[in-house]
Amino acid sequence: METQNTPRWLVSLALAGGGIGIAGLLILAFLIAFPQYRPGYSVFTVSMGDILIEQGKWIKPIPNPNDILAAYWIAWDDDGFRISERQAAQYPIIALGDSYTEAPNVARPWTDVLAAAAEQPVRNLAYRGFGPSEYLRVIQRFTDGGMQDGSEALIVGFFEGNDLSNAVNSREKPGEMPWEVDLNRRKLIKTDLTQVTEREDRYPMRGAINDALEFDLVFYENYLWALNGSTRDYRESLNMRYTMEDFAGIRAVMPEACIVVTYFPTKAHIYLPYLQPEYQPILLQKAQGNQAAPGEKLQLVPASETTFDDLLNRLPNMRDVVQEQMEAAGFIFFDLTPVFEAAAARGEILYYTYDTHWNQQGHDLAGDAIARFMATDPCNTSRFQTATKP
């Protein structure tokens, strides 16, 4: 029986295909072994902490600035928003917020934790630097494009550190929108601490919980002093007026949606009570108060008369007024402060040391707490109650 020789071109093709396959496997193995070279792979190091950008001269030399705190894959969609783990054509839950919700320095933002717990897709429409005015602009843009279809709940993360100030600042200078930002500008940057020529060794201070756990504390003081105000100042300020106008605008755009305003506390709100006594007078050397004449903008002013007890007593004031105003306007209000306070009392560290933001443990706690809250059916729909595991 005569055999037919295999055509050379077929042999060449087979060899080429095999070579391509082997090369693909080698590339895959390389990316598994060295994930830092994968597209979209990011690391967050100590030197990337945002407090270092503004207060680097107040920080003692850091022995481990290049230590990696988080390593993860992250990507943004064509509109500039972080791509969710659970993607869908329609999202029953939309999340608005700032960098606490975008979460560019952790692997899983609280929105993904919520989505997994609730077994519901969550659309993350948050971006760093946002405030109430930007929340309104985003929801206006995306409801015009049909995003409202199928959306039953809108969760707005209200960050107490700067959302009130942003409500005014964005009217004066509108914030940059993510679809206007080049991808390369989304990357977190390191602070070159070797360039600090004049140093005031103010931080880190030390905290202690139950006389057992001691830890470094570094506060971003603008956020800290923003809490040093009276309920009258917050309530009657131009900041609160603009905030409520923007939230009224959000409701006007999505009148049928269940809107849940979720309050995000600062690191100072949670951990200031644990500041060790020897550091308290050092902190108060730069004390400021947050004040406003009725109808005027809140301003930080020197407040040398402030005592540490005064500061502790005023920590809830902003939260109390925001809750009062939101509930009076008909919004559902969910406060993460007691959830975080309870975790801190157990010795959990929920924020990065040299950064104002939550670490992964903080995001896990927030996402789980919001999921449990949604399971109580605040929106009067069985969809969230049955999907969420209490």
pLDDT digits (tens, 9 = 90+) for 136-189: 999 998 876 444 555 789 999 999 999 999 999 999 888 889 999 887 888 898
Helix (H) or strand (E) segment spanning residue 126: strand 122-126
Report how far residue 321's alpha carbon sits from residue 196's, in angstroms, rounded to the nearest whole number.
39
Predicted local distance difference test score (pLDDT) of residue 32:
44
Contact present, 238 and 292 (Cβ < 8 Å): yes
The predicted pLDDT at position 74 comes to 94
Predicted TM-score of the model (pTM): 0.88
Residue 251 scores a pLDDT above 70: yes
Asked, as a colleague might, if the bond just before 204 is cis with ω within 30 of 0, I would say yes
Give, in degrees to the nearest 5, the angle at Cα 146 between 143 and 147: 60
Predicted local distance difference test score (pLDDT) of residue 21 = 59
Most confident of 204-213, 241-250, 252-261: 241-250
CA–CA distance, 87 with 120 (Å, rounded to integer) = 10
- Contact 70/352 with Cβ under 8 angstroms? no
- On the question of pLDDT at 389 being above 80, the answer is no
pLDDT at 256: 87
The residue with tokens 């603008």 is 222
Strand pairing class (258-264; 153-159): parallel
Q: What is the pLDDT of residues 89-131, one digit of tens each?
A: 889 999 999 999 999 999 999 999 999 999 999 999 999 999 9
Q: What gap in Å lies between CA 143 and CA 290, rounded to an integer?
A: 36
pLDDT for position 390: 46
In order of start, what are the domains of the chain with their CATH numbers?
41-387 (3.40.50.1110)
Average pLDDT over residues 315-326: 98
| pLDDT at position 231 | 98
Burial annotation 232-258 (CB, 10 A radius, 16+ → b, else e): ebbbbbbbbebbbebbebbbebbeebb
